[in-house]
Structure 1
Amino acid sequence: MRKSLVGVLAGVLLVLFGSGVAQAQKPTSQTTEYSPYERETIKRAIEATGLVIDPSPEGKIVERIDTLRLEVLEDRDPIPEEVLGVKTRKLLNTLHYTSRDFVIRREMLVKEGDPYVQVLVDETARNMRSRMPLQVSIVIIVPVKGSAPDRVALLVIAKDIWSLRLSFDMAVTPGGLENFLLVPQETNLFGWHHTAQTRFQYQPETLSFGVGYAIPRFGKSWIGASASVGIIINQRSGEPEGSTGGISVGQGLYSTRTEWAWGADASYGIGVSRRYVNARVATFDSRATPDVLDNIPNQYRTRSSSGSVGVTRSFGWGFKNNFSLTMNASTSDYETLGIPAGVNPDAQADFVNRFIPRGESRVFPRLSWATFTTNFLRTLDINTLALQEDYRLGHDISASIYPVSRALGSTRDLVGVSGKVGYALPLGDGLVGASVSTFAETCLDACDTVEKGSLSDASVGASFGAVTPRVGFGRFVMNMSFSNRYRNYLRARTFTGGDDRLRGYPSNYFFGKDTVFYNLEFRTSAVRLLSAAFGAVAFYDAGDAFNGTGFPNQFNALRAKQSLGFGVRALFPQVNRLVFRADLAFPLRRGPFPETGIPTQVDPVGFFFAFDQAFSP
């Protein structure tokens, strides 16, 4: 028996911490194809440089790295050469500072003199797409023939995104404009990829103003930093209502072979949280007072701050084991605001219990472990159009433990644990994946309604997503998930409706500690018009946010809502990697839904405009 236990333990240690073979395991990178737009980009680059593609570069010595940094507006883009005697394209390109050569070169994981390794070349391109979403739309690294049969050169093609930009996002509902975010910013200051931004946000009750600056890398180091501040003005009074601020600095795991990472951050926020439904502050009518219309405004004051400092040690290459230790501190406080005089105390207590979180202070260390593979699938037309997308494959397992103590200044003594297990597989040029996650916090002494040694907060959740191979002129994308907070001392809530998982219903219309969602879309392949890409979707949404009563009746309050609809998608690679979307949705049930606290039906149609897809697989 003892020998068998020793054998099992040795096997576990071998898998988790890696033998020399496991630590040196090379990841795999599966590539489907380039889009017509990307293939044209490669063809034009090869013709412009006079180079010749090397079809078998693996293992050859890299003798040279060339960069081809494409202007935002090329001659293939739909911009007239000249208007009223002004050379339009040249003038507009002059207003943009093209990414500097050293900024592109410093990202290379394969250096001159190294052997060509395809997975490292793929990782370089993948990292650039991930780290530079507001600076470049296309990143393609092409191996070209060198000066000898055993030599190869690299041609790095990067197309800049217009960096002096007026970024915006909006949520337009049947009730009007609910959210409008305007961010005038320079995302490639002097070609260094620094971002300097100002920020304006309109919501029906507030106007917010802010500034920020981000440096992704200082020189050739991998250290970056960012800072931001903002102020919130109440539109009715014209007075400040709150403010925000944050700062961070650190060096991440910038490649799959990076061994150490560290970071520190601090932030705070003061303001008012409001639940908007159809561009108005929702009012709550409690079922505790069925004969009275309570009309409690769904809003409350919030104050929070947090800070952390941590370090990560990473082992392995194709098979990773990461260990992190962080020290964290946070505090939060919430209180009612604007409850009308004369509201029944039972209705007020019901409102607090349903909507206002419980605040507390925490100071604690956290020890975390994660293991995963660095195998990737590179494909097209899932979350964007006509541009390469990267999805990690294989297992994804993580766990953490954190003790919270009054001795360090926390509100209560507890110990928390969390864990996640997931796996993803390629499915042709699509993929399929699933995950299960859980967390639990145990009070080490009595705290309010929770007995010593009992769970105060705990949840379990799972998700399943799939993307079919392209069939005909498109593919199906599906995601389903559930989350059950079976202990909820902190009164955490999820809101849904609007432009995400339940289109067709007003934004933030449904709420609860538990959720179930199912989303299915047919997304067409990209249709190219000049240098832009367009697509269409048809979708079915189902789900609910609700308050189950606990095992075995955790789903007894589930009342699934459903909607059908269609929409369009557009991508302009000169300005963004994210698609612009417009959706028209029709709810299959209009209510009223008493559990929302709103005693009226929803509109028969909903329409929403936003950037990025409504959901990911």
Structure 2
Amino acid sequence: MRIFICLSLLSFLILCEPRDVGSETYIRKIRLKRLNVFDKELEHENNFIYKTANRLHIVTRERVIRRELLVREGEPFDSMALYESAKNIRALPFIGEVYMDIKNAPGDSVDVDVTTEDLWTTVVGISGEGGGGRYVVSLYADEKNIAGLGMAVETTLKFASDDDNGFSIHAYDNRFLGTRLFTDVWCKDFTFDEQLKLFVSYPFYKIDTRWSFSCSFNRLKLRKRLFHDGKEFFRYRRDITSFLLKGIRAFGKFNRIEPYLQYVYNDNDYGIELMDNPYNVLIPEDEVLSGPGLGFKIYTLSFATARYLDEFGTTEDLNKHLTFDINTTWSGPTFKGDYEAALLEIKSGFLQEPIANVYTGFKNIYSCYCNGSTSERIINKMETAFYFKPSTYHLLAVRYLSVFAWQQQPDYQLVLGGNNGLRGYSDRYFDGCKLALFNFEYRLFTPIEIFTVGLGAVAFFDAGYVWDDHERVKIDDLRSDFGLGLRFGLTKSSTARTVRLDMAWSSDMSDWYISFGTGNLFELARFK
């Protein structure tokens, strides 16, 4: 019966697919124009700085752009494939805007002119981030487009006020050796965590792609810290070795079903750092989770673009969708795992524009470990956002986040305060296992640019709290803050598109804190 229902649903989705009507129009020629970073600015102003920067920058090579095109000369014209091509090119971290112009050609053909704008990709400097009394200063040297070939290397030397200092290097390539493989290598050595992460994937690069694969390996050594009232009261060691192999088969285009198989391996080794500490009883037992899993994802998909949501005027791609995803992984001695359970995960979400200039996002993840008739390590994480644009440069953005956990390991902890949501309180001031957070922002973008840096401002209000396992969730417990901030849009940068600087006052403690960093506190990108 279940198989019959799944097959019926699959047939319905496929039959509902929009069909392309046959066309006799062919693509005669595809012409590429690759603009340097400041070519457009130089059309209006003969600026020495812009000229010098253009000379130093290596423009993205033509083959790097052409390999993202899903249309070819001599093939039938496909408007959807052309739209996806522009979307794929914009997704490259070193490309800003993409323009496509279709021109009639003799006979039954058209010419396609593709124009791309490079972003500035070579960055050496100093940056800061922090809030709630915890601050981080980083020295970094990044190149997001080595020799115009599309490969990237990022290096960072970090100094933190809580002594979490260290060094990291991150390298990735969207098209490894010219293939469709995305590769990512990340190494870091900080005071409280060391990590080696490897990731390789063959993604769904167009709507017609039928297969996707991914493989990841992660080696992480943590000196995990627990906090109370913003102060560390205990720490211990946790070494994690994990491996994930996943294969997905897609059926349908804009209405899709994606069944998938995966294999999960997760080895957790715990150790004592503080000898004879009474809190050592909180350290969990060593465990290995290992086994196969299967799941399926059902979703509808459509494409759209917008401006002045999370960035300063650049095109923002929105993958509007409705999604439901469920998977189960079995761990036990048969698969060399010493923790015997079925791991259940259910995801749902959407990103929509129900009416013009109104955007809503929702995401919910429920997970638990099922052992016989009992369940443990239950977590439900829900996040939703509401964006309203009354005019081009004005935006009301609202976000709600909740994380509720039950029957967790003794060391499980959620923290709130500072740069992670409550900007008017000290870092990690609230702790527990049930969290609720509201963020309200009125963002003002302006058309003012100084040397391609956009200027903006924000007024905000935050409210949230974290409860212990034995406490009831009550609205009266919520703590709040309010404040004002500045926003700087780095319209030509591939490293950070937005820089924020906020000043927040807590409503009940009469304290104030400065919160700053790159990116917004929350964005619609989390729901894409």
Give TM-score, length-normalised by structure 2. Answer: 0.88
- Asked if the contact 2:237–2:273 (Cα under 8 Å) also holds between the matched residues in 1, the reply is yes
- Give yes or no for the alignment of 1:519 onto 2:439: yes
- Asked if the contact 2:104–2:111 (Cα under 8 Å) also holds between the matched residues in 1, the reply is yes
2:173 is matched with which residue?
215
1:291 is matched with which residue?
none
For 1:217 and 1:97, the matched residues in 2 are separated by 18
AA partner of residue 502 (structure 2): D
Q: Which of 296, 313, 316 is 1:386 aligned to?
A: 313
Q: Which of 440, 449, 453 is 2:368 aligned to?
A: 440
The structure whose Rg is larger is 1
- Give yes or no for the alignment of 1:203 onto 2:187: no
Q: 1:174: Cα distance to partner?
A: 6.0
- The structure that is strand-richer by fraction is 2
- Give yes or no for the alignment of 1:409 onto 2:327: no
AA partner of residue 515 (structure 2): F
SS in 2 for 1:126: helix
- Asked if the contact 1:432–1:466 (Cα under 8 Å) also holds between the matched residues in 2, the reply is yes
Q: 1:386: Cα distance to partner?
A: 0.2
- Give yes or no for the alignment of 1:585 onto 2:504: yes
- Give yes or no for the alignment of 1:258 onto 2:194: no
What aligned pairs does 1:474-513 form with structure 2 within 5 A after superposition? 474-489=394-409, 491-513=411-433
What aligned pairs does 1:75-474 form with structure 2 within 5 A after superposition? 76=41, 88-130=49-91, 132-133=92-93, 135-140=94-99, 142-148=100-106, 150-166=108-124, 169-173=127-131, 175=133, 178-204=135-161, 205-232=163-190, 243-274=194-225, 283=231, 296=233, 298-338=234-274, 345=278, 348=279, 353=282, 359-426=286-353, 427-444=355-372, 453-471=373-391, 473-474=393-394
For 2:19 and 2:430, the matched residues in 1 are separated by 47
- Asked if the contact 1:495–1:511 (Cα under 8 Å) also holds between the matched residues in 2, the reply is yes
Q: 1:81: Cα distance to partner?
A: 5.2
1:31 is matched with which residue?
none
Q: 1:304: Cα distance to partner?
A: 1.4
Change (3 A) 1:94 1:464: same
Give TM-score, length-normalised by structure 1. Answer: 0.76
Change (3 A) 1:242 1:14: closer
Larger CA deviation: 300-309 vs 96-105: 300-309
What aligned pairs does 1:523-538 form with structure 2 within 5 A after superposition? 523-529=443-449, 531-538=452-459
Q: 1:228: Cα distance to partner?
A: 3.3
1:21 is matched with which residue?
15
Show structure 1 runs of 5+ residues with no match: 1-5, 27-57, 235-240, 285-295, 445-452, 591-602
- Asked if the contact 1:183–1:197 (Cα under 8 Å) also holds between the matched residues in 2, the reply is yes
Q: 1:125: Cα distance to partner?
A: 2.1
Change (3 A) 1:212 1:474: closer
Q: 1:402: Cα distance to partner?
A: 0.7
Change (3 A) 1:92 1:303: same
- Asked if the contact 1:528–1:534 (Cα under 8 Å) also holds between the matched residues in 2, the reply is yes
SS in 1 for 2:39: coil
Show structure 2 runs of 5+ residues with no match: none
Residue deviations 1:332-364 (CA, integer Å, cap 9, x gap) = 23345347x7x6x4xx36xx64xx666522112
Change (3 A) 1:497 1:152: farther
- Asked if the contact 1:587–1:604 (Cα under 8 Å) also holds between the matched residues in 2, the reply is yes
AA partner of residue 477 (structure 2): R
Residue deviations 1:233-276 (CA, integer Å, cap 9, x gap) = x5xxxxxx763212222311112211111122212122423468
For 1:497 and 1:78, the matched residues in 2 are separated by 47
Larger CA deviation: 496-505 vs 205-214: 205-214
1:54 is matched with which residue?
none
2:516 is matched with which residue?
609
SS in 1 for 2:54: helix
Residue deviations 1:405-435 (CA, integer Å, cap 9, x gap) = 1232323200121112333331313312334
AA partner of residue 254 (structure 1): Y
Q: 1:12: Cα distance to partner?
A: 5.1
- Asked if the contact 1:436–1:460 (Cα under 8 Å) also holds between the matched residues in 2, the reply is yes
Change (3 A) 1:150 1:492: farther
- Asked if the contact 2:376–2:406 (Cα under 8 Å) also holds between the matched residues in 1, the reply is no
For 2:292 and 2:413, the matched residues in 1 are separated by 25
Larger CA deviation: 115-124 vs 259-268: 115-124
For 2:3 and 2:153, the matched residues in 1 are separated by 52
What count of residue pairs does the alignment treat as equivalent? 518
- Asked if the contact 2:121–2:145 (Cα under 8 Å) also holds between the matched residues in 1, the reply is yes
What do you get for the CA RMSD once the two structures are aligned?
3.0
Change (3 A) 1:482 1:114: same
Q: Report % sequence identity.
A: 19
AA partner of residue 444 (structure 2): T
